[in-house]
Amino acid sequence: MRNSVGFDFHPINKELYFTDNGRDLISDDLPNDELNRVTKTGQHFGFPYCHQGDLPDNEFGAGHACSEYVPPIAKLGPHSASLGMRFYAGTMFPQKYRGGIFVARHGSWNKSEKIGADVVFVTLNRDGSVKSVEPFLTGFLKDNNFIGRPVDVQVMRDGSLLVSDDYAGAIYRISYGAPRTAERN
């Protein structure tokens, strides 16, 4: 593993899932950050010999095949700085979010066209593999500049989601419910 930041245990099977930031100085578009899962003791996820499951390291990869290592269950974008992640075990959001993973992507510092600076939602298949990765909270990149940089996510007891932003110095609370109508006096 390399620079793993976000960790959480699957609420049912108790397997450990974690984000992993890819190394720098390969290219603007490689390697991808990763979402990984530990299914047994002693697994090796490739670093420093292989990145993103299929990219041999140009400096340390000689004599090592990427097939020798456990590939990520999802690629989260090159240099997206995938940091905090949490399983959603709340009940406030619609059913489709239960058992999925929210991942805070802090955003790239070293890409000419920045990516990340968002929160993505990962839907899992029954076997724990990834079904999809989709945007959940966006809008922190404007004209290739940051206006916010999500760091971590936390599910609250009421089922709402907190998102920390170290660029704006803020914590956002995301909730779901029936729209309110304006009161008139």
Tell me the average pLDDT across 123-144: 96
| Main-chain dihedrals φ then ψ at residue 67, nearest 5 degrees | -65, -15
Each residue's pLDDT tens digit, 33-67: 999 999 999 999 999 999 999 999 999 999 999 99
154 CB-side CA count, 13 A = 9
DSSP notation for 10-41: -TTT--EEEEEPPPSSSBTTBPEEEEEEE-ST
Q: 4-174 adopts what CATH topology?
A: Neuraminidase (2.120.10)
Burial class of residue 86 in the structure, from the number of CB atoms within 10 Å of its CB (0-12 exposed, 13-18 middle, 19+ buried): buried
Tell me which H or E stretch contains 170. Answer: strand 170-174
Q: pTM of this prediction?
A: 0.92
Each residue's pLDDT tens digit, 70-79: 999 999 999 9
